[in-house]
Amino acid sequence: MQLLPQPRHNKHRPKLSSEQVIEESPNRGIEEKTNADIINSEPFIAKRRTAVPMEHQITPKLLELASQDSFPAVGRREKRHSRKIANSETEERVAIFIDGANLFYAAMHLNLEIDYTKLLRSLTKGRQLLRAYFYTPVDNSNEKQQGFLLWMRRNGYRVFTKDLVYLPDGSKKANMDVEITVDMLTLARYCDTLILLSGDGDLAYAVNAVAYQGVQVEVVSLSSMTSESLIDVADCYTDLDEIRAEIQK
């Protein structure tokens, strides 16, 4: 009769301090014996180590990197290119867009000579001025006009000009609505309030588009020369006649 190989029994080994004591159970049977055979092999015991949790290895390295300038992601990231919402009047950013021809005719109707330095102060009202744009048709042969525009460029205004077009009936024309519209839409993302000095109803659609971006729009012009459609889409309207004492020479 052939004898079956017998399992090896109870080779005792010293218990490691990190191991838990396993209570004997009648149901553990062959599985315990098989595990004991594997664990009790001498080469395995010689190489056995107490496991260190992974987070205990990684965390010190992260803390070391966080103290270096080459690792800005931990606690030092800054949000860039975001527009700050104004909390007070001095922090509010404003941009001014002046339709030069429209303002000129309004001033002429009021018999008003405008001081353009006072005009900026009156419109900004202590707020932060981001840009002041002045759009006007030009006659290159008019030296007085050229001198005026040079003064404007050197005193806080960005001047945009367009040559006058002479029509067959003898009238002159230089419409700058497109330039004003494009610049308003471009600058709207950088400021809190846009101030438009014009009564031209053709700009109403542009004003409405700017308002949909969350920007306040103030319109300043002479009431008798201002389109109702422009007043309707503006957040605030000021009659030029109401501020004449603040802006006249």
Distance from C-alpha of 230 to C-alpha of 91, rounded to nearest angstrom = 27
Same domain, 61 and 183: no
In DSSP terms, 134 is beta-bridged to: 98, 159
Q: In what order do the strands lie in the sheet with 236-239?
A: 158-163, 128-138, 93-99, 193-197, 216-221, 236-239
pLDDT in tens, 1-60: 555 555 555 545 555 444 444 444 455 544 444 444 544 544 444 444 555 555 455 555
Same domain, 169 and 240: yes
pLDDT in tens, 220-246: 999 999 999 999 999 999 999 999 999
pLDDT in tens, 141-192: 788 888 999 999 999 999 999 887 777 776 777 789 999 999 999 999 999 9
Same domain, 111 and 203: yes
- Show the domain range for 59: 32-66
Same domain, 96 and 164: yes
Q: Evaluate whether residue 21 is within a structural domain.
A: no
Same domain, 202 and 108: yes
Q: Evaluate whether residue 229 is within a structural domain.
A: yes
Same domain, 235 and 190: yes
Same domain, 104 and 187: yes
Three-state DSSP at 172 gives strand
Res 32: pLDDT: 47
Q: Evaluate whether residue 239 is within a structural domain.
A: yes
Instruction: Centre a 10 Å sphere on the Cβ of residue 95 and count the other Cβ atoms it contains.
Output: 22
Distance from C-alpha of 218 to C-alpha of 215, rounded to nearest angstrom = 10
Q: Which CATH number does the domain housing residue 215 bear?
A: 3.40.50.1010
Q: Evaluate whether residue 76 is within a structural domain.
A: no
Q: Evaluate whether residue 18 is within a structural domain.
A: no
Average pLDDT over residues 88-107: 87
Same domain, 131 and 196: yes
Distance from C-alpha of 208 to C-alpha of 213, rounded to nearest angstrom = 9
pLDDT in tens, 43-52: 444 444 555 5
Q: Evaluate whether residue 79 is within a structural domain.
A: no
Counting the structural domains of the chain, the total is 2
Q: Evaluate whether residue 186 is within a structural domain.
A: yes
Three-state DSSP at 176 gives coil
CA–CA–CA angle 89, 91, 95 (5° rounding): 90
Same domain, 53 and 128: no
Q: Evaluate whether residue 44 is within a structural domain.
A: yes
Same domain, 132 and 224: yes
Of the three residues 51, 66, 81, the one that is the final residue of a domain is 66
Same domain, 119 and 44: no
The model scores a pTM over 0.85:
no
Same domain, 100 and 61: no
Question: With 60 as the cut, is the pLDDT of residue 112 above it?
Answer: yes
Which of the four pLDDT bands, split at 50, 70 and 90, describes residue 103?
A: very high
